[in-house]
Amino acid sequence: MSKRKIYSVIAILIVLGVYGYDYFLNQKDQADIVEQGSTIKQQTNEYFLPTSTTGQMVHHEGYSLSYSEPHEQAEWVAYELKKEQLSNTNFERPYFEIDKAVKTGAASWKNYKNSGYDRGHLCPAGDRNYSKSAYDETFLTSNITPQEHEFNAGIWNTLEQKVRYWANKYDGVFVVTGGILDDHLKTIGNEHVSVPNQFYKIILDNNNGAIKMIAFLIPHKNSNEPLYSFVVSVDEVEKLTGIDFFPELDDSIENKLEASSNYKNWSFN
């Protein structure tokens, strides 16, 4: 073999080695991110986390989620909104980024482009205004779902603002929210992100052990109806989703609270 051919082979082997090493590093970085996402974070209130029907739970600093690969979005996002976290700080909106902590791969933001749907936050950016990192974290694609603009900016936004009102009034609340993910939903994008027909939000107030909860189930369209007209029992949302929302609660307390759709203990003023 001529020296030229030998040098060519050596050059090819070097290039392959560099690419192989880069691939190894990328895979290791990805594995590290997934492992970090599987770890409960310090400020996560694990006691109130729902079950995951998908087996893929991810914990970020500001919220936790259970990712549904078939629907390419979270089946639920859960977080605590404390009174001291409420803030009117106006951070610059970042670009949406794919959530690398999702082991099966979160959907790209590109699925939403020209789809006619908003990239609807499940954990609102407005609930994480207490720090830039927490705010930016809400722009991960595991935290978004396709929402009609009129719904997102209308009745859903009204409910988000009410949650902040309750967090202030009751000195903090715990929130679980998501879309009703069932079969035969419309999808968008190359990755077939499901478009829910209904969205739910469950709010729990734990005042020195005196727990109360309220659940909302809202059709995916804007409405001028009052928020309390969408109140349902937690049991009803559990039947639609298959999720056990507060499995760590004592059964007698859980069964009583989750069966009720009474909203009289919640201020709608």
pLDDT per residue as tens digits for the range 168-190: 999 999 999 999 999 999 999 99
3-state class percentages of the chain: helix first, strand second, coil last, to nearest 5: 35, 20, 40
* Of 152, 153, 263, 250, residue with least CA distance to 199: 152
Residue 25: what pLDDT?
41
Choosing from 121, 149, 184, 220, the catalytic residue is 121
| Radius of gyration of the chain, Cα coordinates, nearest whole angstrom | 22
Residue 43: what pLDDT?
64
Q: Which SS3 state, helix, strand or coil, does residue 205 take?
A: strand
Q: Which SS3 state, helix, strand or coil, does residue 89 take?
A: coil
* Of 243, 257, 248, residue with least CA distance to 182: 243
Residues in the chain, pLDDT under 50 = 21, 23-25, 27-28
Residue 104: what pLDDT?
93
Residue 2 half-sphere exposure toward CB, CA atoms < 13 A: 3
Residue 23: what pLDDT?
45
121 catalytic? Reply is: yes
Query: Within the chain, where are the H helices?
Result: 3-37, 132-137, 149-152, 155-169, 234-241, 251-259
Distances (CA, A) of 5 to 11, 17, 19, 26, 241: 10, 18, 21, 31, 63
